[in-house]
Chain A
């Protein structure tokens, strides 16, 4: 039995109060084991990134209200830490790989300087140790000439290489949890394969727990064993990837799967899509948020909220699962 590295209990995030209240994330609970990868999928605006930012405690300046029973890393609750205490944790025990490496790097420092800064901040190592750790982390993500890469500025690298450098920076202190937010979106096929390969390596070799956030189910399937489907701030289905792809139980999950274009030897007739639009956070329908777009919805779906019920095959929040 592997240990739980990341444990999130009843996380809620909202803006405003009373009639103005916009619920972005609604009582979300999940855990990721060490050496395991879990995918969090959903459309843009569903609260995936907000969940990640809340775990890292990065929402305090945005005016968002965050409530949770606990956010634990290796059993230690980090949601109660002060800002100074939190800084000790970020980068060392939990790190994030951002969607746009171009904006996550500082343009005026070299890649090597920025990776070194993370290491020095957390370990207090001397110059020699820092240099060694920095070069090792760049080598570990597959750069053969680590020294050359370390001396370049972020804009001199291509998108894929920048994302690899980002992974090197996130892993230089060997954190036990990594949150990767859309790490391969906007990358082409060959760069994407490289990045996913590195995530896989981290998981297997360093026993890192990975929370992979993506809108792309095929990417999640490649790296993760477990997957959670999010819609309008709620988890609708929690299961393992294999069952989701072979038998999605929530109508929304099934809809998402049918939207994925596939490469077959004959041209597909017409791509499927989910009818309708994602509702606004300020104007969420009562009951199941997906009910207005759902072909299986009945009256109780529009009135009461289905909860994530555990049964034999994963967990699904639906009154009429498939």
Chain B
């Protein structure tokens, strides 16, 4: 059993050993990633651009076809389902994109955009749908006058509210927010984060919240998962992550985020690169080129992920790290 999947509450979404490659299976975009999200909680998925965060979101929505692995939504693998079954699963999960202006059709009024998912899933009759659209619009803080207007007549913050409303109108259990607040001003970002927190409290929605901004993640996430070049390096309860990040990359990310001060040592040696390729024969840890704590073993053998959660803490969520620094912590191994 993979150590990333040992939650005590049932997981709404569970990903097991997911791999995805591009370019004739050469370039690994997602490299054997496993994690799970408890129902009603928020997992913050963090990483630099190109780390594979969005590819995971797209795989969950089945917009990409993973090479291997499983994506369990409410216990059922969505990857081996036929299109009919998939459609009913999709109703339960929705995606909010980064650019609201690009994700709303410019030729449809807000009402048409909000009705579309309801029509598609054949939810209720016409009257019921109208009612639902109005209610969801109020939930996200817009009034009735918005219905007949087009996306370009709104500010970007309002557009993102509409995009969130469209995602929520089918009453999904899981919402994947892919950099949903990254392009917004801080003041509007704050309003959208408030909205997401309120929605979670009222409707118990589970969020997979993808962002490169750790300050935003601190605000919203119960758990944090760190990705680097296609691999998941650490998954940790948020409080633990922000007080005691375990992986050297997590520590670097946090120091970047806490203090933007130009750091010559990091800047000079930071190498921008791609993930593993399938033909790559080296078995080194993916983070060796940039790791400040590199050891000899890191070049020779890829680390496996271990749960380093202190047994005495009785924490519900595991704290898993993929790093040789924690090899000696074997107390919890079975």
Name A residues whose Cβ lies closer than 8 Å to a Cβ of B. 43-45, 142, 158-161, 185-194, 196-197, 200-201, 215-219, 222, 255-256, 259-268, 270-274, 277-278
Q: Please state if A260 and B242 are interface contacts (CB–CB under 8 Å).
A: no
User: Can you offer 20 A-B residue contacts whose CB atoms are under 8 A?
Assistant: A43-B187, A45-B155, A187-B49, A188-B48, A190-B48, A190-B253, A191-B48, A192-B256, A193-B260, A193-B261, A197-B267, A215-B186, A219-B260, A260-B215, A267-B238, A271-B190, A271-B197, A273-B194, A277-B158, A278-B155
Contact indicator A222/B261 (Cβ below 8 Å) = yes
Residues of B within 8 A of A159 (CB): 49
B116: CB under 8 A from chain A?
no
**B188 contacts across to A, CB distance below 8 A:** 43
A218–B260 touching, CB < 8 Å: yes
B193 within 8 A of A: yes
Could you tell me the distance between the alpha carbons of A70 and B225 in the complex, rounded to whole angstroms? 52
Q: With A and B bound together, what is the CA distance between A174 and B213 in angstroms?
A: 33
Give the distance to chain A from B207, nearest Cβ to Cβ, in Å. 15
Assembled-state Cα–Cα distance A215/B189 (Å): 11
- Whether A186 pairs with B182 at a CB distance below 8 angstroms is yes
| Given A189-B214, A259-B186: 6 more A-B contacts, CB < 8 Å | A160-B49, A188-B49, A197-B267, A216-B186, A262-B218, A266-B239
Q: Quick check: A263 and B242 within 8 Å, CB to CB?
A: yes
Inter-chain CA distance A222–B272, complex, in Å, is 23
Whether A189 and B257, one on each chain, are in contact in the complex, defined by CB atoms closer than 8 angstroms, is: yes
Closest to A187 in B: B49
Contact of B189 among A158, A222, A259, A270 (CB under 8 A): A259
Q: What's the least CB distance linking A87 to chain B, in Å?
A: 33
In the complex, chain A residues whose CB is within 8 Å of the CB of B258? 263
The interface residues of chain A lying within 8 Å CB-to-CB of B194 are 270-271, 273
Q: B183 an interface residue at 8 Å Cβ cutoff?
A: yes
Nearest chain A CB to B30's CB is how many angstroms away?
18
Q: Which chain B residues border A260 with CB–CB below 8 Å? A: 186, 215
Interface hits, B219-263 → A, CB 8 Å: 219, 238-239, 242-243, 252-254, 256-258, 260-263
Let me know if B267 and A194 touch, CB within 8 A.
yes
Question: Would A263 and B256 count as touching, CB distance under 8 A?
Answer: no
Cβ-defined partner of A274 (8 Å) among B187, B256, B268: B187
- Nearest to A41 among chain B residues (CB) is B186
* Interface residue from A142, A217, A270, A272 paired with B197 (Cβ < 8 Å): A270
B266 within 8 A of A: yes
Q: Using Cβ atoms and an 8 Å threshold, which residues of chain B touch A43?
A: 185, 187-188
Query: Which secondary structure dominates where chain B touches chain A?
Result: helix
Let me know if A268 and B219 touch, CB within 8 A.
yes
Contact yes or no, B185 A277, CB < 8 A: no
- CB distance A158 to B49 under 8 Å? yes
- The smallest C-beta distance from B321 to any residue of chain A, in angstroms, reads 19
A277 touches B216 (CB 8 A): no
Bound-state CA distance A297–B22 (Å) is: 57
Interface pairs A-B: 7 shortest CB-CB:
A197-B262, A273-B190, A189-B256, A259-B190, A261-B215, A188-B212, A188-B48
- Interface membership of chain B positions 144-158, coded 1 if the CB is closer than 8 angstroms to chain A and 0 otherwise: 000000000001111
Shortest Cβ distance from A201 into chain B, in angstroms? Answer: 8
CA of A219 to CA of B261, assembled, Å: 9
Q: Indicate if B59 sits at the interface (CB-CB under 8 A).
A: no
Which B residues from 252 to 287 make CB contacts under 8 A with A? 252-254, 256-258, 260-264, 266-268, 270, 272
Q: Which of A160, A216, A217, A261 has the most CB of B within 10 A?
A: A261
- For the complex, what is the distance from the CA of A159 to the CA of B188, rounded to whole Å? 24
Closest chain A CB from B266 CB (angstroms): 7
Q: A189-B256, A194-B267, A261-B193 are in contact. Are A161 and B272 (CB under 8 A)?
A: yes
Given A158-B50, A188-B49, A193-B260, verify A264-B190 contact (CB < 8 Å): no
Residues on the B chain within 8 Å of A188, using CB: 48-49, 212
B55 to chain A, nearest CB (A): 16
Q: Which of A158, A215, A218, A270 contacts B185 (CB 8 A)?
A: A215
Q: What's the least CB distance linking A308 to chain B, in Å? A: 22
B5 close to A (CB within 8 Å):
no
B191 at the interface (CB under 8 A from A): yes
In whole angstroms, what is the CA distance A159 to B260 when docked? 18
Contact of A272 with B190 in the complex, beta carbons under 8 Å: yes
Q: How far is the CA of A216 from the CA of B155 in the complex (A)?
A: 18
Who on chain A is nearest to B189 by CB?
A259
Q: Give every chain A residue within 8 A of B186 (Cβ-Cβ).
A: 215-217, 256, 259-260
Give the nearest-CB partner of B50 in chain A. A158
Which residue on chain B has the smallest CB distance to residue A293? B187
Q: Could you tell me if A277 and B254 are in contact, using CB atoms closer than 8 angstroms? A: no
Scan B30-49; emit 1 where CB is below 8 A from any A CB, else 0.
00000000000000000011
With CB as the reference atom, state the residue of chain B lying closest to A144: B268
Residue in chain A with minimal CB distance to B221: A267
> In chain B, what residue has the closest Cβ to A184?
B260
Q: How far is the CA of A272 from the CA of B49 in the complex (A)?
A: 28
Q: How far is the CB of B41 from chain A (nearest CB, A)?
A: 13
CA distance A255 to B98 in the complex (A): 25
Binary per-residue interface labels of chain B (74-118) against chain A in the complex, 1 for a CB within 8 Å, 0 otherwise: 000000000000000000000000000000000000000000000
CB distance from A101 to the nearest CB of B (A): 13
Measured CA separation A111–B211 after assembly (Å)? 30
User: Which of chain B's residues has its CB closest to A272's CB?
Assistant: B190
**Beta-carbon contact of B239 and A265 below 8 Å:** yes
**Contact between B262 and A255, CB atoms less than 8 A apart:** no
User: A276 to B197, alpha carbons, bound, how many Å?
Assistant: 18
- B266 near A193 (CB under 8 angstroms)? yes
> Which residue from chain A places its CB closest to the CB of B141 in the assembled complex?
A277
Given A189-B256, A196-B262: A255 in contact with B187 (beta carbons within 8 A): yes
Shortest Cβ gap from A58 to chain B (Å): 23
Chain B residues with Cβ below 8 Å from A185 are: 183
Q: Which listed residue, B158, B252, B260, touches A196 by the CB 8 Å rule?
A: B260
Q: How far is the CA of A14 from the CA of B258 in the complex (A)?
A: 40
